[in-house]
Amino acid sequence: MGKPKKTLWGGRFSTSLTTETIAFTHSIEADTRLIGYDIWGSQTHAIMLARQGIISDADLREILQWLQKAETDFQNGDFTLDPNKEDVHMNVESYLIENAGREFGGKLHTARSRNDQVLVDAHLYIRDEILNVQRGLSELCEAFLHIAKVHANTVMPGYTHTQHAQPISLGFWATAYVSMFLRDQKRLQSAYKLANTNPLGACALAGTTFPIDRHLTTKLLGFDAPHEHALDVISSRDFIAETLFALSLVMANLSRISEEIVYWTTYEFGIAVLDDAYSFGSSIMPQKKNPDIAELTRGRTGRVYGALLDLLTNLKGLPMGYNRDFQEDKPPLWEAFDIVKACLGLLPELLKTTDFKTERMAELANANFATATELANYLVKEHQISFRECHEIVGGLVGELGQGEKTFADWELTQRLLKQREIDIPIEQLKQILDAELAIQNNQSLGGTSPAEVHRMVDGFAEQLNEIASHIDAYQSEIDDAHQETLRIVDEVLGGDSDNIVRRGIQGINY
Ligand code: ARG
């Protein structure tokens, strides 16, 4: 047998790796969270090998028994991943070989490469995490829908250029975020579908001469279909890029709501007050109440963008085939998921507990000429003047009032200035035209800010969220059912007291 080798691939090497080389190349920290997926992938691979007659039933029993033990030992802390063994795949295989012996454990890697193995782990991991992010996003949308239902009639200033534009309702504002986050849901769902294909069986890059059955592992891993082209799948990380892009946009959107929270809670704006449970003080200034969660969400956005850019840069120069550069795909992906999930873990509750200062909002919505467009619209409707001319008239009025530091609410002056422009409107009517609340009631065009439209959109969005929830449940069941089916076969094989039972068990798999 020759002298014992330091690595499982060390056959051709005469010296072992230096400590520094191992430290530079291993991926143990990143791989730790993959071990459950790695073992599931190995179980399905071994079952498939036995069913195809590539390994014996006795081999299968030994392999499955020690894979199961590896998992429980890992959970109990009796099996830890060793950097000297490079990655999770080599650690698990070494565990098998050390415990079951090379004559059994050494057969697991037949017709498989770490190249397809690592992709199986990543695909399985991404599926779970996308569903987690989707659940968090749905909760966030629910929080916005709650605000929308309560505040469909609450006026606030709508902004463009961060300047008063037109009055809208707080409910309308909240539904805008739901509308936006629903697109994130769709992007994540599409990323999920891309990730839900089976790389296993691609082997190193060329497929294999063994009579493997990729459909069986596809079924047992709950994938939609095999990712057929062996060289393409080995070389592809676009499913990760797609996911990171979807996560980057989620963060962009979370950062935008965070930005609004930050300035809405300023003394100057004063339209929202955070619950104390989500606020921070200062070590020196006793009066401070700071929106740190929103700031950190905004501040962590760049790290998720960085993850996307990291991966895109990694991919751009890589030739077809596996390249070790690919190992670097995991830390940014982990980081992106961790950050997004952490933000989504806090923001829904932070929003639900925020006290919106509706009186202050109404005061702002009625100030600073925010209803000027309504006056122009009135003139178009009642005086048969073109909109451009009405715009000019109201613009002139605002300019004059503003110069004298007056507002529309200086009603007699407003009336007089309009009269000078040959427009006669009784003060009572002026008050109605320029009332912010009436303005939002009347903006009844499709998708506008009227309470009727807000309620209609709330219902539509709630329905979409229900559909998303059923998708998430359906995907989760597919994952769980496939895992349960794998574990059922493992139990059957390990519980069978004769090879016949094992054979019947694996022959009976329906797919
Ligand atoms: N740790 C590696 C990765 O994450 C394993 C993949 C295969 N390695 C190899 N040398 N072929 O990409």
Please tell me the distance between residue 164's alpha carbon and the centre of ligand 1 in angstroms: 55
Confirm or reject: Cβ of 118 under 6 Å from ligand 1.
Answer: yes
Number of alpha carbons in the 13 Å side-chain half-sphere of residue 272: 23
Please tell me the distance between residue 139's alpha carbon and the centre of ligand 1 in angstroms: 37
pLDDT value of position 441: 96
Confirm or reject: Cβ of 490 under 6 Å from ligand 1.
Answer: no
282 is catalytic: yes
Confirm or reject: Cβ of 327 under 6 Å from ligand 1.
Answer: yes
Q: Rounded distance, CA 290 to CA 276, Å?
A: 10
Instruction: Enter the tokens of residue 274.
Output: 């955070």
Please tell me the distance between residue 45's alpha carbon and the centre of ligand 1 in angstroms: 18
Three-class DSSP category at 158: strand
Three-class DSSP category at 329: helix
| Cβ neighbours for 40, distance < 8 A, ≥ 6 positions apart | 124, 221, 483, 486
Q: Rounded distance, CA 218 to CA 336, Å?
A: 27
Q: Rounded distance, CA 57 to CA 410, Å?
A: 92
Per-residue pLDDT of the chain (511 residues; tens, 9 = 90+): 334 446 889 889 888 899 999 999 999 999 999 999 999 999 999 999 999 999 999 999 999 999 999 999 999 999 999 999 999 999 999 999 999 999 999 999 999 999 999 999 999 999 999 999 999 999 999 999 999 999 999 999 999 999 999 999 999 999 999 999 999 999 999 999 999 999 999 999 999 999 999 999 999 999 999 999 999 999 999 999 999 999 999 999 999 999 999 999 999 999 999 999 999 999 999 999 999 999 999 999 999 999 999 999 999 999 999 999 999 999 999 999 999 999 999 999 999 999 999 999 999 999 999 999 999 999 999 988 999 999 999 999 999 999 999 999 999 999 999 999 999 999 999 999 999 999 999 999 999 999 999 999 999 999 999 999 999 999 999 999 999 999 999 999 999 766 666 677 677 777 7
Query: Torsions phi, psi of 280, nearest 5?
Result: -125, 150
Q: Rounded distance, CA 83 to CA 99, Å?
A: 19
pTM above 0.85, yes or no: yes
Confirm or reject: Cβ of 354 under 6 Å from ligand 1.
Answer: no
16, 190, 229, 282: the catalytic one is 282
Confirm or reject: Cβ of 326 under 6 Å from ligand 1.
Answer: yes
Q: Which atom of ligand 1 is nearest to the CA of 322?
A: 11
pLDDT value of position 7: 85
Please tell me the distance between residue 118's alpha carbon and the centre of ligand 1 in angstroms: 7
| Cβ neighbours for 84, distance < 8 A, ≥ 6 positions apart | 6, 22, 26
Nearest to 395 by CA among 373, 410, 412: 373
pLDDT value of position 509: 79
Where do the DSSP E strands lie in 220-328? 225-226, 272-273
Q: Which atom of ligand 1 is nearest to the CA of 30?
A: 4
pLDDT value of position 500: 66
Confirm or reject: Cβ of 236 under 6 Å from ligand 1.
Answer: no
Q: How far is CA 238 from CA 120, 175, 246, 314, in A?
A: 14, 32, 12, 11
Where do the DSSP E strands lie in 244-343? 272-273
Q: Which atom of ligand 1 is nearest to the CA of 326?
A: 12
14, 161, 283, 445: the catalytic one is 161
Confirm or reject: Cβ of 196 under 6 Å from ligand 1.
Answer: no
155 close to 167: Cβ distance less than 8 angstroms: yes
Q: Which atom of ligand 1 is nearest to the CA of 204?
A: 11
Angle between the 238-264 and 170-195 helix axes, to the nearest 10 degrees? 160
Query: Torsions phi, psi of 198, nearest 5?
Result: -100, 115
Three-class DSSP category at 168: strand
Confirm or reject: Cβ of 414 under 6 Å from ligand 1.
Answer: no
Strand partners, 198: 226
Q: Rounded distance, CA 440 to CA 152, Å?
A: 10
